[in-house]
Amino acid sequence: MQTDPSPRREIGVFDSGVGGFTVLHELREQLPTARLRYLADTAYAPYGNRSPDEIRARSMAISEHLIAQGAELIIIACNTATAHAIEALRARWPTLPFVGTEPGIKPAVAATRNGRIGLLATPATAASARLRALIERHANGREVVVQGCPGIVDHIEAGDLDSAELRSLVARHCEPLRAAGVDTALLGCTHYPLIEPLWQAALGPDVKLLRIETAVARRAVDLWTPASDSPALHIETSGDPAALRTWIERVLGWREPDVRSWPAAL
């Protein structure tokens, strides 16, 4: 893809780090001609360990930057940022469409056979009022076991997708879901599909895993009017561009993107 740096009509995507690449992959599949700009806020990752005020401040600064670069649609490819910032972002830019990423409680309710659902999330998402409201609105009497999973995102950001330490951590976080007898589990963080086999192994083959990134991309398709611009992919990070480029090549197998630095300070 070409990497014309001039501001044009773009779709902006951001996450605390690399998790949003699961959403970006779906966007590239469903909108192959779109100009996409992805910002990984790796200097502040993981958001799941930060306060709601910090998350909102970062989300505001990033959105302002993406808009300045030409974003006419912004995808918050992060469950934690969606939970704590999307309402503030929509209030700040009421005419700009924001697509959030939230656990699919409704699909889980439709999928469960025994009425017991598990939700694996970052600590900040697990503690958010928005998640509690989502469950109250859509659970329809089903039991939802919410498990905060500190430490998982740190391993994924470091490129560790299969160590013994990570497997042990995944198993520990899955134990409350196994004890509750859930038959359906939601991966409530966009990082988590990158280690989906580990979650499945820890939960067992009879537990159905649900992920959200395809639905997020489809929502973007509904809101986006294709233009005549040539497709482009721009990737920026508040952390180390070289480290992120190495992660992208090793984990995703993408060779073409240039990764540029974006100032981390507010």
Does the annotation flag 16 for ligand binding? yes
Give the DSSP letter string of 115-167.
SEEEEEE-HHHHT-HHHHHHHHHH-TT-EEEEEE-TTHHHHHHTT-SS-HHHH
Does the annotation flag 80 for ligand binding? yes
Burial environment of residue 101 by CB neighbours within 10 A (0 to 12, 13 to 18, 19 or more)? buried
Does the annotation flag 190 for ligand binding? yes
Q: Which residues of 223-253 are buried (b: 16+ CB within 10 A; e: fewer)?
A: ebeeeeeeebbbbbbbbebeebbebbeeeee
Does the annotation flag 49 for ligand binding? no
d(C-alpha 57, C-alpha 51), whole Å: 10
Closest CA relative to residue 77, chosen from 17, 155, 138: 17
Residue with tokens 């302002």: 64
Is 174 a known active-site residue? no
Does the annotation flag 63 for ligand binding? no
Does the annotation flag 140 for ligand binding? no
Does the annotation flag 79 for ligand binding? yes
Rounded CA Rg of the chain = 18
Does the annotation flag 47 for ligand binding? yes
37: Cβ–Cβ under 8 A, 6 or more apart, which residues? Answer: 10, 11, 12, 13, 66, 69, 70, 71, 233, 234, 235, 236
User: Hey, what amino acid is at 28?
Assistant: R
Pick the catalytic residue: 66, 71, 144, 189? Answer: 189
Distance of alpha carbon 8 from the chain centroid? 24
- Specify which residues 260 forms β-bridges with: 236
Pick the catalytic residue: 34, 78, 216, 233? Answer: 78
Task: Could you list the residues known to form a binding site for substrate, using ranges.
Answer: 15-16, 47-48, 79-80, 190-191
Catalytic residue ranges = 78, 189
Task: Could you list the residues known to form a binding site, using ranges.
Answer: 15-16, 47-48, 79-80, 190-191
